[in-house]
Homo-oligomer: A and B are copies of this chain.
Amino acid sequence: MEIDMKIAMETDAPRQNLAINAYRTLKHDIIRGRYVPKEKLLMSLLKERYGVSTGPLREALSQLVADRLVVAISQRGYRVAPMSLAELNDIHDARAQLEGLILRLAIERGDDDWEASVVATAHRLAKVTDISSPDELLDGWDFRHKAFHTAIASGCNSPHLLQMRNTLFDQVERYRHLWLQETVMSSTALEQKRQEHAALVEVILARDAEQAAILMRDHLMTPVPIITRVLEARGIS
C-alpha cells in the first residue's frame, strides 16, 4: 500500500519571493507546535532561523496576523496567538456551521463528477485501515481524510466559501495537532470514524441535505471534548 504524501504545500509555486516562503514555513511551524502559544517571536531569532531580513519577515508576520495565528502588539512585536477553550469552541462551532452550509449547497448543486470524487476519496480513505507503521498510518489517514472532506466541500462551487473554509481549517489544525500529538489513534476510534464517513457518503448520495448537514456538524464536533481535556491538562483555560 503506497501512501500518497506529496508536498502539496499551500497553493502552487515553490520559487516565489522570500516573504511567501517565510510565511509558509512559519505557519507550518506554528500549526505544528514548534512555538508555544503566546511565545514571543523575536525578530533577530526569526531572521536568523529563516534566513530572511526584516522586510520579508514582517510581511510574513503581518499575514499570519490576518490568519489569526500570530498577534501583533504595537511597539512590542509579535507573539504566537494564544489558545483557549473559548477559541477552541468558537472555531469548531464556526467551522461546523460553515461546513454544514457548504455541504447543503454541494448537495443542491453538485453534479455527477462531484459525486464520483466523493465516492472515490471515500474509498481511498476507507482502505487505510491496513496495518503499517503507526506514523505512516496516521500521516496517510490524515492526508486522505483531508482529501475526502475537500472533495465533499468542492461541490458547493463557490470559490469564496471554499476560501473561508481554508482559513478556518488552518486554525482548527493547530488545535487538532495538539490532539494528534497526545492521543494515539486507536483502532476502535478509527472504526468509529469510518462508520461516520460511510454514513455521510450514504446520505450525500441520497441527497438528503438536512440529515447530511447534521451528520457533518456532529462529525466535526467530536474531537472537541478530547482537545478540551488536553488543553486543561496543560493548564489552558
0/1 per residue, A156-173, Cβ < 8 Å to B? 001111011001100100
Asked whether any CB of chain B lies closer than 8 Å to the CB of A198, the reply is: no
0/1 per residue, A57-69, Cβ < 8 Å to B? 0110011001110
Asked whether any CB of chain B lies closer than 8 Å to the CB of A133, the reply is: no
In the complex, the answer to whether A97 meets B161 with C-beta atoms within 8 Å is yes
Q: How many Å lie between the Cα of A59 and that of B16 in the bound state?
A: 16
CB neighbours of A67 from chain B (8 A) = 66
In the complex, the answer to whether B159 meets A62 with C-beta atoms within 8 Å is no
Q: How many Å lie between the Cα of A16 and that of B62 in the bound state?
A: 13
CB neighbours of A160 from chain B (8 A) = 90-91, 93-95, 168, 171
CB distance from A14 to the nearest CB of B (A): 11
CB neighbours of A95 from chain B (8 A) = 160
Within 8 A of B (CB), among A65-98: 66-68, 74-75, 90-91, 93-95, 97-98
Asked whether any CB of chain B lies closer than 8 Å to the CB of A105, the reply is: yes
Stoichiometry, copies per complex: 2
CB neighbours of A164 from chain B (8 A) = 94, 98, 164, 167-168
Asked whether any CB of chain B lies closer than 8 Å to the CB of A42, the reply is: no
Please pick, from B66, B68, B75, B98, the residue contacting A161 in the complex, using a CB distance under 8 A.
B98
Q: How many Å lie between the Cα of A97 and that of B164 in the bound state?
A: 13
CB distance from A77 to the nearest CB of B (A): 11
Q: How many Å lie between the Cα of A63 and that of B98 in the bound state?
A: 24
In the complex, the answer to whether A105 meets B97 with C-beta atoms within 8 Å is yes
Asked whether any CB of chain B lies closer than 8 Å to the CB of A51, the reply is: no
Asked whether any CB of chain B lies closer than 8 Å to the CB of A137, the reply is: no
Asked whether any CB of chain B lies closer than 8 Å to the CB of A41, the reply is: no
CB neighbours of A59 from chain B (8 A) = 58-59, 62
CB neighbours of A237 from chain B (8 A) = none
In the complex, the answer to whether A97 meets B101 with C-beta atoms within 8 Å is yes
Q: Which 6 A-B pairs have the closest CB atoms?
A: A94-B160, A94-B161, A59-B62, A66-B66, A101-B101, A164-B164
Q: A-side interface residues toward B, CB under 8 Å? A: 13, 16-17, 19, 54-55, 58-59, 62-63, 66-68, 74-75, 90-91, 93-95, 97-98, 101, 105, 158-161, 163-164, 167-168, 171
